[in-house]
Amino acid sequence: MPRPKRHNPAGYRSGLETKFQAACEAKGWKLAYEQDKIKYVIPASNHTYTPDFTVTKNVYIETKGLWVSSDRKKAALIKEQHPDITILYVLQRNQGITKKSKTTYLDWAAKNKLDACTFSDTQHWQDYIMRHI
């Protein structure tokens, strides 16, 4: 399936990516956007993942509006297959993983030992960047 076309002048695919980069730049941080590709395997098939932002080697930030099931599975597979890589998932909001589920995105991330926060939790993602720059 082809990648979605970039639909804004800054070259980002989502408004949250644009907003996140602007907030980082306001702090004086210029993070590379979709610079690296990380290979991972879904049993019986090979795939490549491109994180949204590169903080440093093997340290990334992925911004998510909706964190759909296939993206959550991908996150868990990458963590399992690449223990040397650190990814912070910055979510637009903390909502249920499905309309009927009481499990939120942050609950799911904690259960799967993934580092995640909402965009509004600026202290969390700014501390993450500062620890790794």
- Structural domain harbouring 22: 15-132
Let me know if residue 7 belongs to a domain.
no
Let me know if residue 97 belongs to a domain.
yes
Let me know if residue 89 belongs to a domain.
yes
Let me know if residue 3 belongs to a domain.
no
Question: For residue 44, what pLDDT is reported?
Answer: 78
Let me know if residue 44 belongs to a domain.
yes
* CATH code, domain carrying 105: 3.40.91.30
Question: For residue 5, what pLDDT is reported?
Answer: 52
Q: How many domains does the chain have?
A: 1
Let me know if residue 9 belongs to a domain.
no
| Ordered DSSP codes for 19-56 | HHHHHHHHTT--PEES---EEEEETTEEEEE--SEEEE
Let me know if residue 41 belongs to a domain.
yes
Question: For residue 123, what pLDDT is reported?
Answer: 98
Q: Is the pTM of this model over 0.85?
A: no
**pLDDT digit string (tens) for 55-105?**
999 999 999 999 999 999 999 999 999 999 999 999 999 999 999 999 999
What is the Cα 28 distance to its own chain's centre? 20
Nearest alpha carbon to residue 67 among 114, 30, 33: 114
Let me know if residue 8 belongs to a domain.
no
Pairing assessment for the beta strands 38-42 and 32-33 based on DSSP bridges:
unpaired
